[in-house]
Amino acid sequence: MSPMRIAIAGASGRMGRMLIEATIRDDGAKLVAALDRADAPAVGEDAGAFLGSRCGVPISSDVDAALAGADFLIDFTRPEATLAHLDACLRHGVKMIIGTTGFNDAQRERLSDASRSLAIVLAPNMAVGVNAVFRLLDMAARILNSGYDIEVIEAHHRMKVDAPSGTALRMGEVVAGALGRSLKDCAIYGREGHTGEREDSTIGFSTIRGGDIVGDHTVLFAGIGERVEITHKAASRMPYALGSLRAARWLVARESGLYDMQDVLGLR
């Protein structure tokens, strides 16, 4: 079987480099393109240079040229950049694995429209462990459905630009769905001053930004006399990269549709 031909967006960023490393080390994948902004200092350099060896793929800002020889684009950039890449992927028939977060409703609708003719995996977190936690949260919420206050606490590095994280929001959505609620109606994203007593049906979010924290997420179910905490902590970005390659393998057999990691892992 021929290796998957992978293009990676945001190639000189921290996540981009992790994706490049994982792809180069995967016998079933081949790095064929590495993309970055035209003003990125690394444009023109070998994509594998940071690993101490050349891979023969230069970092480029020419999206159409890069995608011409690719089967998949893995994109962990910003919403605006991802949507620009989406248009190029539609032109070239390149399937997408998207780990970008912070999309608004209109941007999500564009992705949904594109999925009618393009296969896309879109997930706020590609790590297999996090997606196992999503299932655990669904189960816990159904059991702890009365008498427990629910809080989602997340921590990330100081450079992260969106809050709460996409993973934290997805955790809130999973819990709210299991309880028959809409997160839009019950989420509390900030508390200050005289807030009054906590309302029973709310789901609270707390955000921490600092240092080089890769990603910590905890959902707390606080009852009377007991607390249940379900936590995932990422020590590196490699789980996100490995999950993305797993998503690409699963997407090989799909020609169109919008999927997430729950589909990839057979957890529906």
| CA geometry: angle 243, 246, 251, nearest 5 deg | 125
Residue 201 in domain: yes
Kindly report, residue by residue over 214-254, the tens digit of the pLDDT: 999 999 999 999 999 999 999 999 999 999 999 999 999 99
State whether 177 and 110 are in the same domain.
no
Per-residue pLDDT, 67: 95
Per the domain annotation, does 137 fall within a domain? yes
Give the chain's domain count: 2
Low-confidence ranges of the chain (pLDDT < 70): none
In this prediction, residue 267 carries a pLDDT of 85
Tell me which residue range forms the domain holding 67: 4-122
Name the residue type at position 145: N
**232 classed as catalytic:** no
Does 170 lie in the same domain as 101? Answer: no
Please indicate, yes or no, whether residues 133 and 66 belong to a single structural domain of this protein: no
Looking at the structure, tell me whether residues 76 and 151 fall in a common domain.
Answer: no
126: Cβ contacts below 8 Å, ≥ 6 apart: 97, 99, 239, 240, 241, 243, 244, 246, 247, 261
CATH number at residue 19: 3.40.50.720
Residue 62 domain-assigned (yes or no)? yes
Residue 138 to residues 133, 173, 219, 241, 260, Cα–Cα distance (Å): 9, 10, 11, 25, 16
pLDDT at 268: 78
Catalytic residue from among 160, 184, 217, 232: 160
Is residue 245 situated within a structural domain? Answer: no
What is the per-residue pLDDT across 67-103, written as a single tens digit (0 to 9) for each?
999 999 999 999 999 999 999 999 999 999 999 988 9
Whether 16 and 117 map to the same domain: the answer is yes
DSSP string, the chain: -PPEEEEESSTTSHHHHHHHHHHHH-TTEEEEEEE--TT-TTTTSBTTGGGTS--S-BEES-HHHHHTT-SEEEE-S-HHHHHHHHHHHHHHT-EEEE------HHHHHHHHHHTTTSEEEE-S---HHHHHHHHHHHHHHHHS-SS-EEEEEEEE-TT--SSS-HHHHHHHHHHHHHTT--HHHHEE----S---SPPTT-EEEEEEE-TT--EEEEEEEE-SS-EEEEEEEESSSHHHHHHHHHHHHHHTT-SSEEE-HHHHTT--
Q: Is 156 labeled as catalytic in the residue annotation?
A: yes
Domain limit, last residue, from 91, 122, 153: 122
146 found inside a domain: yes
User: Out of 30, 85, 95, 156, which one is annotated catalytic?
Assistant: 156
| The pLDDT value given to residue 122 | 97
Same domain for 116 and 166 = no
Q: Tell me, what CATH number does 211's domain have?
A: 3.30.360.10
Are both 139 and 173 inside the same structural domain? yes
Give pLDDT, residue 144. 98
Please say which residue of 122, 147, 167 terminates a domain: 122
Query: Residues 102, 198: one domain?
Result: no
